[in-house]
Structure 1
Amino acid sequence: MCALSGVLVAGLLAPVALGAGLLSNQVSDSVDAISADLATGSPPLTTTVTDREGTPIATLYAQYRLPVAAAGIADTMKAAIVSVEDRRFYTEGGVDPQGMLRAALHDSAGGNLQGASTITQQYVKNYLINVVDRNDRAAQLADQEDSLARKVREAKIAVELSRRMSKDDILAGYLNVVEFSGTVYGVGAAAKAYFGTTPDKLTVPQAALLAGMVNNPALFDPYTHPAEATARRNLVIDDMVSGGLLPAGYGTAAKDAPLGVLPDGPVTPSGTCLGAAPDAGFFCAYAESYLAQAGFTADRLATGGYTVRTTMDPKVSRVTKDAVDANVPTTQDGVANTFAVVRPGQRGHEVLAMVANRDYGNDPDRGQRSTNIVADAADKFGAGSSFKIFTAAAAMVTGKAGLTTPLPNPPHDCFTPPGANQYTACYPVGNDGTGYPDPISLADGLATSPNVAFVGLEARVGMPAVLDMARRLGLRKTLTTNDAGNPPVTDPASPLAGNPQYDQPQSDYFRNLLSFTLGNSPVSPLEMANVSATIMSGGVWCPPDPILSVTDRAGKPVPITQPPCERVIPTGVANTLMAGLSQDTKHGTSAIAARAAGWTRPDIAKTGTTEQSESVAFVGGVDDYAVSSMVFADGPHPREICPGTPVHLGECGAGAFGGTVAAPPYFRAMGELLAGQPDKPLPAPDPAYLGAHS
Structure 2
Amino acid sequence: MDRSDPAAQRADRSDTLGRKVREAELATGLAHTMSKNDVLDGYLNVVEFTGNVYGVEAAAHAYFGTTAAALTVPQAALLAGMVNNPSLYDPYDHPQQAKDRRNVVIAVMAQVAMITPAQAAAATAAPLDVLPDGPVVPGSTCMAAAPDAGFFCQYAVDYVEKAGITADQLATGGYTIRTTMDPAASAAAKAAVEANVPTRQNGVANTFAVVRPGHDGHEVVAMVANRNYGTDAAQGERATDIVADPSNVFGAGSSFKIFTTAAALENGTVVFDSALPNPATDCFTPPNANRHTACYPVANDGTSYPDPISLQDALATSPNVAFVGLEARTGLPSVIAMAQRLGLRDSLASNDAGGTPVTDPADPRSQDPQYNQPQSQYFQNLLSFTLGVSPVSTLEMANVAATIDSDGVWCPPNPIEAVTDRDGHPVAVPQQACEQVIAPGLAHTLAAGLSQDTVSGTSAAAARTAGWTRPDIGKTGTTNASESVAYVGGVGGLTGYAASSMVFADGTHPQELCPGSPVHLGDCGHGAFGGTVAAPPFFATMSKLLAGTPDVPVPGPDPAYLQPAPHPVGG
Give your verdict on TM over 0.5. yes
Aligned mates of 1:279, 1:447 — CA distance in 2: 32
Match of 1:460 in 2: 329
Q: Percent identity?
A: 64
Alignment RMSD, CA only?
3.5
2:250 matches 1:385? no
Give the counterpart of 2:380 among 511, 528, 545.
Answer: 511
Give the counterpart of 1:355 among 196, 221, 224.
Answer: 224
Q: Is the 8 A contact 1:180 1:210 kept in 2?
A: no
Measured at CA, do residues 252 and 591 of structure 1 come closer, stay the same or move farther in structure 2, by a change above 3 Å? Answer: closer
Measured at CA, do residues 674 and 136 of structure 1 come closer, stay the same or move farther in structure 2, by a change above 3 Å? Answer: same
Aligned mates of 1:258, 1:595 — CA distance in 2: 59
Which structure's CA Rg is the greater one? 1
Match of 1:10 in 2: none
Match of 2:441 in 1: 572
Aligned mates of 1:438, 1:600 — CA distance in 2: 29
Q: Aligned-pair distance for 1:188?
A: 5.2
Measured at CA, do residues 330 and 210 of structure 1 come closer, stay the same or move farther in structure 2, by a change above 3 Å? Answer: same
Residue 431 of structure 2 aligns to a residue whose secondary structure is coil
Give the counterpart of 1:546 among 410, 415, 422.
Answer: 415
Aligned mates of 1:140, 1:553 — CA distance in 2: 20
Residue 527 of structure 1 aligns to a residue whose secondary structure is helix
Give the counterpart of 1:657 among 529, 534, 547.
Answer: 529
Residue 627 of structure 1 aligns to a residue whose secondary structure is strand
Aligned mates of 1:225, 1:482 — CA distance in 2: 56
Q: Is the 8 A contact 2:285 2:296 kept in 1?
A: yes
Measured at CA, do residues 515 and 136 of structure 1 come closer, stay the same or move farther in structure 2, by a change above 3 Å? Answer: farther
Aligned mates of 2:413, 2:367 — CA distance in 1: 33
Measured at CA, do residues 209 and 684 of structure 1 come closer, stay the same or move farther in structure 2, by a change above 3 Å? Answer: closer
2:33 matches 1:161? no
Match of 2:565 in 1: 693
Match of 1:558 in 2: 427
Equivalent runs, 1:85-484 vs 2, <5 Å? 132-133=2-3, 151=16, 154-155=19-20, 157-158=22-23, 161-162=26-27, 164-166=29-31, 179-186=48-55, 189-190=58-59, 192-195=61-64, 196=66, 198=68, 207=77, 211=81, 215=85, 217=87, 220-227=89-96, 229=98, 258-484=127-353
Give the counterpart of 1:680 among 552, 555, 561.
Answer: 552
Q: Deviations over 1:371-401 (max 9, x none)?
A: 2222211211110010010011111111112
For normalisation by structure 1, the TM-score amounts to: 0.71
Q: Is the 8 A contact 2:63 2:131 kept in 1?
A: yes
Residue 619 of structure 1 aligns to a residue whose secondary structure is strand
Q: Is the 8 A contact 1:191 1:202 kept in 2?
A: no
Measured at CA, do residues 156 and 580 of structure 1 come closer, stay the same or move farther in structure 2, by a change above 3 Å? Answer: same
Q: Deviations over 1:331-382 (max 9, x none)?
A: 2211111222222222222222222222233333332323222221121111
Aligned mates of 2:544, 2:69 — CA distance in 1: 45
Aligned mates of 1:231, 1:399 — CA distance in 2: 84
Aligned mates of 1:401, 1:513 — CA distance in 2: 21
Match of 2:569 in 1: none
Q: Deviations over 1:501-547 (max 9, x none)?
A: 22222112212221111101111111111111111111111112222
Residue 442 of structure 2 aligns to a residue whose secondary structure is helix
Q: Aligned-pair distance for 1:651?
A: 0.6
Residue 649 of structure 1 aligns to a residue whose secondary structure is strand
Report which stretch shifted further, 370-379 or 390-399. Answer: 370-379
Match of 1:671 in 2: 543
Letter matched to residue 476 of structure 1: R
Aligned mates of 2:301, 2:63 — CA distance in 1: 63
Q: Aligned-pair distance for 1:205?
A: 8.8
Measured at CA, do residues 675 and 165 of structure 1 come closer, stay the same or move farther in structure 2, by a change above 3 Å? Answer: closer
Aligned mates of 1:655, 1:317 — CA distance in 2: 29
Residue 181 of structure 1 aligns to a residue whose secondary structure is coil
Q: Deviations over 1:209-267 (max 9, x none)?
A: 765676572x6532134356557778x889999xx9x9xx9999998764443433223
Q: Is the 8 A contact 1:576 1:690 kept in 2?
A: no
Give the counterpart of 1:607 among 454, 476, 490.
Answer: 476
Report which stretch shifted further, 625-634 or 669-678. Answer: 669-678
Aligned mates of 1:506, 1:284 — CA distance in 2: 27
Residue 161 of structure 2 aligns to a residue whose secondary structure is helix
Q: Deviations over 1:666-685 (max 9, x none)?
A: 22333343344443221120
Give the counterpart of 2:516 among 637, 644, 647.
Answer: 644
Residue 345 of structure 2 aligns to a residue whose secondary structure is coil
Residue 338 of structure 1 aligns to a residue whose secondary structure is strand
Letter matched to residue 150 of structure 2: G
